[in-house]
A and B are shown apart, each in its own frame.
Chain A
Amino acid sequence: MDQTKKTTDPESFTRNVESTIDELFKASRQIEIDPLTGEVKDLSQEETGQGPSFQVEGQEEKRPEEIRLPDFKELEAPAEQMEIAADEILESGFDLGLEDEETKAVNLEQQISQLNQILLTLEWELDQTQVVSAKKLVETIRENPEIGADKNLHELLCLMSMVLEGMADHPEKMPTSGPVALQRGLDVLKTAVWSGEQSTKAEEELFKSAKKELESAIGMEVPEVASEDAGETALKEKFPGRQEQPADSVLEAGTREKVAPIEPEYQALANTVKSHIKILDDCIGHILPVERLLARTPGMEKLHHFQENIKGRLEEQKRILEKALTGDYGPSVGVPDYAAKRTRDIPMETDKKEEITSGDISCPWNELVVAQWDQKQVAFAPEDVAFAGTAPWWARNGLNKLNTFKLKKLKTWPWTKIKSLMQGELSNKEESQLIKLEFPVLQKSNSSSGHSQPSGNPTVLVLSRADKGLVLMLDTSLENISITHEYSWEPSAERNGPWVGNLEIENKQISVATLESLSNTLTNE
């Protein structure tokens, strides 16, 4: 048979695969697994009377390949014993997870375990959220009095924090040894915490080697200062004998003295400049969310332009200072005269309406969630979505008639936790706060509520941001869409309307709303 023709026929392929599955996926022998120990018992041998009644399979057979970190097994011994004790209790039906224990030792162990897990994920991919979580965990562990009292441990954790800060600020410059160095640091921490004795000579050696690895990971992420050869040469000429400095972003006050010794005059100047760079960075960071908000708020184009200019000026100053650190003390070429530009480009005549063509403004969002509501396709900002899903029947019933909706109606069982159902800001609130929350319900227009066909999959949508919220009953479930260049965006001219703008693609129109714009319709009613 022509193989090419066979491979292009999915039906025939699927049939053949299914028959192979039926043939191969079956037990070739009878076994049973001990729930407590995980040992495999061969029942087929037992039946024939051969061998002992409880023949334990070799470790290789049960779990032939375990990939572990070096020395992991020995380090985990104390925790393993605690787990087995807890497991035995669990098997008898009592729910006594380790997470419920309140002792400091268990908390520290959990923190270390969680950090271990995050560092393992960082070895796969550098995710900003994970890096920030790891840094917070490292700092929490460092604040533990037991850890803080130990000079070596404190120093180790400071170095780990510096590496993580570098990862967060300049992930592209992080050497591949960075996550490995962090893992090494964590192993040494585990050894020290669980040995519980005064450091031995072997442990001192472990500390030294872990610190060296961490320092080299920090040293290799030096920013423009040392990475550019020209800058480095200039610095060496000015300050002979100076050694490389770590990046500003990884310096912490408490550990600066641990870095390689530098000329004192250069040190003072560089520190001053770097502190100014850090302040400029912070200012830019504060401006960014405001700028983004203004970009997607209709009528705020001028303020957005104003913010953009301020941000540009701050970034320019930061660039000048960073260049100064490399030895280039001249101002940037083509620095615009911002004072003149300010009066010329940013007239503060807010009553003057400018014509903005739809082609000039791009959609403020890269991603939206879309559904059918009130006989039209509507889209919402994903960050506003607190809950989207099928709620229990008692929540859905009458939603079209209610003026307000209590979040606790989303519970499917009396013991259900609403917190686990929430997304976004509401997921950070406590359960006791969530069950008290009540949001207004946005009804469909009168013309559509009579004609709308009940959907097979109605979705309750809860929007929430900064203690404000709104509930809608969508006709379909939410779908994510990415806003590509194929979409055209037109902001809404109506300031107090429900929609902030419209997206259009292939003659289909999607109305975009935010929580604020929809809330306006409630206040205007």
Chain B
Amino acid sequence: MALINLSKKEIHCKIVYYGPGRCGKTTNLLYIYNAMNHQARSKMLTIETKGDRTLFFDLLPLNLGKINGFDVRIQLYTVPGQAIYEATRRLVLKGVDGLVFVADYLKVRHENNMESFQDLRRNLLEHNLTLEKIPIIFQFNKCDLVHTSIPTLTREELEAVLNKELNTEVFEAAAIKGLGVFETLKEISKRTIRYVAKKHLLTSC
């Protein structure tokens, strides 16, 4: 849930990048961290890495500065994608305000995409949330592999299994090259802020 402190004039929102293992969640944050203006982002924290795998989570706070007198921050989190780290994912999802589901274009990862999506639904229910209630967009990552010899899915196939009911925005991306990374970030940030403003600022007026 967004942290809104009207006396201190602070608004902090939480966006979680979710998806199966090795789909590019951490790469998204790494790209944002390294490519973005230093003034807008704080230090990126990576808790407990095992080599290059995220074992706990990554956190990248982004500072939008003072807007209408409010100090607005957006905190980007990733979760470990491997199946055995479900408890961590559930913990990191607590208080989420916006979601980016990162799916993998690789054909061999298709089942992982679907399992991760179902896992997301289940974990949200644990926090009395549903995908229909909070802002969510999709990022189909590794689109740079589509026209190579590596077997990949098509956008339509991924949309059919993941986005059929939600019908939300989809961004194709190649996170290692930065393609689609900032577009995804901008869209989810805007949606999250709109959601938070509507939900919390309206009721506190």
Give the B-binding residues of A (Cβ under 8 A): 3, 6-10, 12-14, 16-18, 20-22, 24-35, 37-38, 40, 57, 61-69, 72, 76, 79-80, 83-84, 87, 90, 92-95, 97, 99, 110, 113-114, 116-118, 120-121, 124-125, 130, 133, 389-390, 412-413, 415-417, 420-421, 423, 457, 477, 480
Task: With both chains docked as a complex, state the minimum distance between the C-beta of A351 and any C-beta of chain B, in angstroms.
Answer: 44
Q: Is B169 an interface residue (CB 8 A)?
A: no
Residues on A with C-beta less than 8 A from B198 are 10
Task: With both chains docked as a complex, state the minimum distance between the C-beta of A441 and any C-beta of chain B, in angstroms.
Answer: 22
Residues on B with C-beta less than 8 A from A69 are 48
Report whether A93 and B151 are in contact in the complex, using a CB–CB cutoff of 8 Å. yes
Contacts A69-B48, A83-B52, A83-B53 given; indicate if A480 touches B125 (C-beta within 8 A). yes
Additional pairs, 12, CB under 8 Å, beyond known A13-B68, A420-B119: A7-B201, A18-B194, A28-B35, A31-B178, A32-B177, A61-B34, A67-B48, A72-B48, A79-B50, A83-B53, A113-B84, A117-B87
Contacts A10-B197, A95-B109 given; indicate if A117 touches B182 (C-beta within 8 A). no
Report whether B50 and A83 are in contact in the complex, using a CB–CB cutoff of 8 Å. yes
Report whether A67 and B31 are in contact in the complex, using a CB–CB cutoff of 8 Å. no
Report whether A25 and B185 are in contact in the complex, using a CB–CB cutoff of 8 Å. yes
Report whether B67 and A20 are in contact in the complex, using a CB–CB cutoff of 8 Å. yes
Task: With both chains docked as a complex, state the minimum distance between the C-beta of B73 and any C-beta of chain A, in angstroms.
Answer: 11
Task: With both chains docked as a complex, state the minimum distance between the C-beta of A177 and any C-beta of chain B, in angstroms.
Answer: 20
Report whether B68 and A16 are in contact in the complex, using a CB–CB cutoff of 8 Å. yes
Residues on B with C-beta less than 8 A from A420 are 114-115, 118-119
Q: Is B64 an interface residue (CB 8 A)?
A: yes
Alpha-carbon separation in the docked complex, A480 to B197 (Å): 24
Q: Is B155 an interface residue (CB 8 A)?
A: no
From B52, B109, B161, A412 is in contact (CB under 8 Å) with B161
Q: Is B46 an interface residue (CB 8 A)?
A: yes
From A12, A18, A413, B193 is in contact (CB under 8 Å) with A18
Residues on B with C-beta less than 8 A from A116 are 48, 55
Task: With both chains docked as a complex, state the minimum distance between the C-beta of A138 and any C-beta of chain B, in angstroms.
Answer: 16
Closest A-chain residue to B32, C-beta based? A25
Report whether A66 and B182 are in contact in the complex, using a CB–CB cutoff of 8 Å. no
Task: With both chains docked as a complex, state the minimum distance between the C-beta of A323 and any C-beta of chain B, in angstroms.
Answer: 39
Question: What would be 5 A-B contacts, judged by CB atoms less than 8 Å apart?
Answer: A31-B34, A57-B34, A65-B46, A67-B48, A420-B114
Closest A-chain residue to B74, C-beta based? A21
Residues on A with C-beta less than 8 A from B193 are 14, 17-18, 21
Q: Which residues 74-101 of B have a CB within 8 angstroms of A? A: 80, 82-85, 87-88, 91
Closest B-chain residue to A32, C-beta based? B177
Task: With both chains docked as a complex, state the minimum distance between the C-beta of B84 and any C-beta of chain A, in angstroms.
Answer: 5
Report whether B87 and A118 are in contact in the complex, using a CB–CB cutoff of 8 Å. yes
Residues on A with C-beta less than 8 A from B168 are none
Report whether B87 and A121 are in contact in the complex, using a CB–CB cutoff of 8 Å. yes
From B35, B52, B202, A29 is in contact (CB under 8 Å) with B35
Report whether B46 and A63 are in contact in the complex, using a CB–CB cutoff of 8 Å. yes
Task: With both chains docked as a complex, state the minimum distance between the C-beta of A88 and any C-beta of chain B, in angstroms.
Answer: 11
Residues on B with C-beta less than 8 A from A16 are 67-68
Residues 1-44 of chain B: 1 if any A CB is under 8 Å from the residue's CB, otherwise 0? 00000000100000000000110000100110011110010011
Report whether A93 and B111 are in contact in the complex, using a CB–CB cutoff of 8 Å. no
Alpha-carbon separation in the docked complex, A79 to B22 (Å): 17
Closest B-chain residue to A36, C-beta based? B52
Residues 117-129 of chain B: 1 if any A CB is under 8 Å from the residue's CB, otherwise 0? 0110110010010
Task: With both chains docked as a complex, state the minimum distance between the C-beta of A401 and any C-beta of chain B, in angstroms.
Answer: 23
The 8 closest A-B pairs by CB, nearest first: A80-B51, A27-B35, A95-B108, A10-B197, A24-B40, A10-B201, A28-B37, A3-B69
Alpha-carbon separation in the docked complex, A12 to B50 (Å): 44
From A25, A67, A97, B189 is in contact (CB under 8 Å) with A25
Task: With both chains docked as a complex, state the minimum distance between the C-beta of B60 and any C-beta of chain A, in angstroms.
Answer: 10
Closest A-chain residue to B58, C-beta based? A63
Contacts A38-B52, A79-B51, A420-B115 given; indicate if A389 touches B87 (C-beta within 8 A). no
Report whether A416 and B114 are in contact in the complex, using a CB–CB cutoff of 8 Å. yes
Alpha-carbon separation in the docked complex, A443 to B176 (Å): 52
From A13, A61, A412, B67 is in contact (CB under 8 Å) with A13
Residues on B with C-beta less than 8 A from A389 are 121
From A12, A25, A32, B36 is in contact (CB under 8 Å) with A25
Q: Which residues 45-72 of B have a CB within 8 angstroms of A? A: 45-53, 55-56, 62, 64-65, 67-70, 72
From A3, A124, A457, B91 is in contact (CB under 8 Å) with A124
Task: With both chains docked as a complex, state the minimum distance between the C-beta of B86 and any C-beta of chain A, in angstroms.
Answer: 10
Residues on A with C-beta less than 8 A from B121 are 389
Closest A-chain residue to B69, C-beta based? A3
Alpha-carbon separation in the docked complex, A61 to B30 (Å): 10
Task: With both chains docked as a complex, state the minimum distance between the C-beta of B119 and any C-beta of chain A, in angstroms.
Answer: 7
Report whether B48 and A7 are in contact in the complex, using a CB–CB cutoff of 8 Å. no
Alpha-carbon separation in the docked complex, A116 to B151 (Å): 35
Closest A-chain residue to B84, C-beta based? A114
Closest A-chain residue to B148, C-beta based? A93
Report whether B175 and A8 are in contact in the complex, using a CB–CB cutoff of 8 Å. no
Closest A-chain residue to B87, C-beta based? A121
Q: Is B154 an interface residue (CB 8 A)?
A: no
Alpha-carbon separation in the docked complex, A20 to B186 (Å): 10
Q: Which residues 105-161 of B have a CB within 8 angstroms of A? A: 106, 108-111, 114-115, 118-119, 121-122, 125, 128, 130, 132, 150-151, 161
Alpha-carbon separation in the docked complex, A511 to B31 (Å): 52
Residues on B with C-beta less than 8 A from A24 are 36-37, 40, 62, 64
Chain A CB within 10 A, most for which of B43, B46, B51, B118: B51
Closest B-chain residue to A11, C-beta based? B197
